[in-house]
A and B are shown apart, each in its own frame.
Chain A
Amino acid sequence: MEYLVTKNERVGENGYRLTLDFSKDDHPPIPGQFYNIRCTGEMDPLLRRPFSMHRFTKENGILCLQILYRVIGKGTEWLSARRKGETLDLIGPLGNGFVLSERTDVVLAARGIGIAPLCAVADAVRSLNPGMHLHILMGARFKDRVFYLKELERLGTLHLYTDDGSLGFHGRAPELLLHLLETGKVPRTCSLYACGPAPMLMELSALSERFGFNGQVALEAHMGCGFGACLSCAVPLRPASIKKNASWTKSALQWSEDGRTCYSLICKDGPVYDIREIDWNEWLA
């Protein structure tokens, strides 16, 4: 379906925020769901590119979808050149979103552009419980890569980190979270929502087991179609930890004959999973 671009602003080094007119759309997305966008009129790049819903807002009375993205290749380069008044071809919303927590302490852990879907989570949990205490862990390799700070400060308590220590905590997101848990700045009864590189999510998963808090992660993968047909975006799950509920029906699970291996499609069953579901070692091997 075609949607009108109303804004496409630069929001940091290689970071952009796209706003689309969604006034004619009758399928409001859930935080964590994504759209598959055709990022060319040609054959190269070939496939659509998946982008999570960043925010679903009202601007000047018009319902808008925002996509936050970083220019990393041909597709996003093309996307960054789109201007107000042009249209984009989107399929979505696709996949399953986050199941929102009613706990009072929520931690959003991101690295770089991983912050995109977590802002939608912040908006949603806030509307559920205005008294919610939100901790946002945001960082990158070094200072210049950390972006979107003004927007994030408005959402909750911001904890910054960089790998080289050039801004905020010297270390990565899991180390920062460990520090916050050990110093009591974040309670062990928190709910974690995370998005970022898989090794980061794997370490956060280990923390969730150690401290016993709940967590959900939004995964990223190369996708062929985005709607469960091409079977490209498989991720191995831990059979004993698979979570199903009304929002997560997991219709795309594929079990091996011996029942020991289970692959899930990120586009259909995900991109959001319980943090303990993923067989990280198998996935990252």
Chain B
Amino acid sequence: MTSGKLTGMSGLLDCSVRIGTLQLENPVMPASGTFGYAEEYAAFMDLNRLGAIVVKTITLKPRVGSYPHRSTETASGLLASIGLQNVGIECFLEDKLPFFENIRTPLIVNIGGESIEEYASLATSLDQQSRVHGIELNVSCPNVRKGGMHFGVDPEVLRDLVSHVRQATGKALIVKLTPMVTDLRPFAEICQRHGADAVSLINAPIGMAVDIRTRRSRLGKNLTGGLTGPAIKPMALYCVWRVCRAVDLPVIGIGGISSLEDALEFFIAGACAVQVGTWNFINPRITLDIIEGLEKYMVEHRIENLSQLRRTLVEEVPKVGTHRKWSVGVTE
């Protein structure tokens, strides 16, 4: 079982996914910001088994990130303001990238900037790296003052950003969108029209938690943070489903995935691949568990190709009497 293909009851399984120039052996990858620079997870799993590796957002300059008291737990969720702490592109290329020399999994580097020029400059640097296979644009970080979310909530700014970055790189280009807009569909359309190979959604919606004793934010001076974890899964699923119906562009589903069943929900809603985020903290092997579970599931359900699962949501309500479940209490 060294690749996404294995011999099952019904022949050869195909879990592979194509995103622009990127060929993934399977559709499961970690979400940026939850997997460090991947080396943190090497002790827990064989990184070669992942569909892709997505590293933490890299910016032009190093960033120390948000003030301490960066995270707090809410009901089934993690509220965090990390503020894009990262080593910066120079140190990333020098110190972090060599680690990937012995790993064959495609590497997607997530980038963030304060201006279109910064994004383009980062994309240009990464474009020269043979070990980098894809670029994911973070246009939706909820926890930085400049840039970040700004690019993901203004259609015109997003258009300019995507087209500039597209010109700067021939690598697979993914745009990670925020749900903090009324309707995600026009943003996905812009990405498609201006050369993105995929969109990934959702990034963390913004949330708050208050300590009623001190009447201060539980994130201290940071006040607000991005909400992640199982708490946001229904919202993420809805966004993925809505975008997949409207736009003919690969969608990578992200948000609260903690099991194979969760991942399957995203495939059924239309996602071509999934990113697992916060659950990596709870079970550092979760991505692998999902990949192995998916292969088993496909064999058991005689699914040879992942596309047989994708966008298979049954949306119409069956007529009265056609199914026992609907035979009582449903009016047409």
Binding site for B on A (CB under 8 A): 38, 43-48, 91, 221-222, 224-236, 254-257, 261-263, 282-283, 285
A231 and B284 within 8 A (CB)? no
B47 sits at the interface (CB 8 A): no
A43 to B36, CA, bound (A): 23
Closest Cβ of chain A to B219, distance in Å, is 10
Binds A, one of B5-13, B64-72, B108-116, B306-314: B64-72
A47 and B76 within 8 A (CB)? no
B75 and A234 within 8 A (CB)? no
Q: Which of B85, B229, B282 contacts A231 (CB 8 A)?
A: B85
Q: Which of A44, A227, A257 contacts B75 (CB 8 A)?
A: A44
A263 and B64 within 8 A (CB)? yes
Q: Which of B59-82 contact A (CB under 8 A)?
A: 61-73, 75-78, 80, 82
B221 sits at the interface (CB 8 A): yes
Binding site for A on B (CB under 8 A): 33-36, 40-41, 43, 56, 61-73, 75-78, 80, 82, 85-88, 221, 229-230, 258, 278, 280-282, 284
Contacts of A230 in B (CB 8 A): 33-34, 71, 80, 82, 281
A227 to B43, CA, bound (A): 10
New A-B contacts (15) at CB < 8 Å, excluding given A231-B56, A231-B70: A46-B282, A222-B69, A222-B72, A224-B78, A225-B284, A227-B40, A229-B34, A229-B35, A232-B80, A255-B64, A261-B64, A262-B64, A263-B65, A263-B68, A263-B85
Chain B CB within 10 Å — which of A227, A230, A233, A234 has the most?
A: A230
Contacts of B281 in A (CB 8 A): 47-48, 224-226, 229-230
Q: A-B pairs with CB below 8 Å: how many?
A: 102
Chain B CB within 10 Å — which of A48, A227, A234 has the most?
A: A234
Contacts of B73 in A (CB 8 A): 45-47, 222
Residue of B whose beta carbon sits closest to that of A40: B282
Contacts of A227 in B (CB 8 A): 40, 43, 284
Contacts of B41 in A (CB 8 A): 229
Q: Which of A48, A221, A233, A257 contacts B282 (CB 8 A)?
A: A48
Q: Which of B43, B68, B282 contacts A283 (CB 8 A)?
A: B68
Question: Top 6 closest A-B pairs, CB basis?
Answer: A225-B281, A232-B71, A229-B36, A43-B76, A229-B40, A256-B64
A189 to B291, CA, bound (A): 57
B76 and A255 within 8 A (CB)? no
Closest Cβ of chain B to A39, distance in Å, is 11
A47 to B280, CA, bound (A): 10
A43 and B230 within 8 A (CB)? yes
